[in-house]
């Protein structure tokens, strides 16, 4: 368990066997109808569950439960596969439309970033298809800074799309060699 605040909101580790369907229900419209995700075909629940299982082997995947229902989720993932990138994690968050603007994204990201910090990741990176005022606002509110924009980097829904990258230092910057990132349960 991550936290169980008095307001009845609970942030906890995702359990793929139980939570895959609810997470996919939140995510699927972003595949079908928006450029927030560059994925084009909605995965099956089983495929999505496998994705969650693969993610939690190395990174946190958290869900926010309100009144017994999952209303959002956030997870970390490898930024790039080459070895020297291993201290950098990408972060992703989705909140159900009915629960936006009331602190759900902040709650999920606060817990996620703390978990990434504890595992020894040094940098969190967010890639945001533009425009996305809410996501840029959330990342800024969490201390992320813009680092650049990939222009016309993806084609979706009939147009070229730009992606802005933002990053957050999870640990104080030093020139000392960083300790290896730990697994979620180490």
> What residues make contact with ligand COA under the rule CB under 6 A?
30, 36, 92-95, 100-106, 126, 128, 132-135, 137-138, 141
Shortest Å, Cβ 162 to ligand COA: 13
- Say if residues 84 and 108 touch (Cβ distance below 8 Å): no
- Say if residues 161 and 153 touch (Cβ distance below 8 Å): yes
Residue 83 CA to residue 86 CA, distance in Å, equals 6
- Is the preceding peptide bond at 131 cis, omega within 30 degrees of 0? yes
Please say which residue, 56 or 164, places its beta carbon nearer to ligand COA. 164
Shortest Å, Cβ 111 to ligand COA: 12
Nearest partner of 72 among 48, 51, 102, judged by Cα: 102
Please say which residue, 155 or 180, places its beta carbon nearer to ligand COA. 155
Shortest Å, Cβ 49 to ligand COA: 21
**Would you call 74 exposed, middle or buried from its count of C-beta atoms within 10 A (0-12, 13-18, 19+)?**
buried
Shortest Å, Cβ 64 to ligand COA: 9
Please say which residue, 62 or 138, places its beta carbon nearer to ligand COA. 138
- Say if residues 128 and 163 touch (Cβ distance below 8 Å): yes
Residue number of the CB atom closest to ligand COA: 137
Please say which residue, 120 or 156, places its beta carbon nearer to ligand COA. 156
């Amino acid at each position: 368990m991550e936290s169980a605040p008095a307001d009845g909101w609970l942030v906890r580790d995702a359990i793929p066997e139980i939570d895959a369907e609810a997470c996919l229900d939140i995510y699927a419209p972003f595949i079908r109808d928006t450029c927030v995700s560059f994925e084009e075909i909605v995965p099956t629940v089983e495929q999505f569950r496998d994705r969650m299982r693969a993610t939690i082997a190395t990174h946190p995947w958290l869900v926010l439960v309100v009144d017994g229902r999952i209303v959002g989720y956030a997870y970390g993932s490898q930024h790039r596969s080459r070895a020297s990138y291993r201290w950098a994690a990408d972060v992703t968050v989705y909140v159900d439309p009915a629960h936006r603007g009331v602190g759900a994204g902040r709650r999920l990201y606060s817990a996620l970033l703390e978990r990434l910090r504890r595992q020894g990741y040094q940098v969190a990176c967010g890639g945001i298809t533009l425009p996305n005022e809410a996501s840029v606002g959330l990342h800024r509110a969490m201390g992320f800074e813009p680092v650049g924009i990939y222009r016309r980097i993806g084609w979706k829904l009939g147009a070229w799309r730009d992606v802005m990258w933002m990053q957050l230092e999870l640990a104080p910057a030093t020139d000392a060699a960083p300790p290896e990132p730990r697994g979620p349960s180490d």
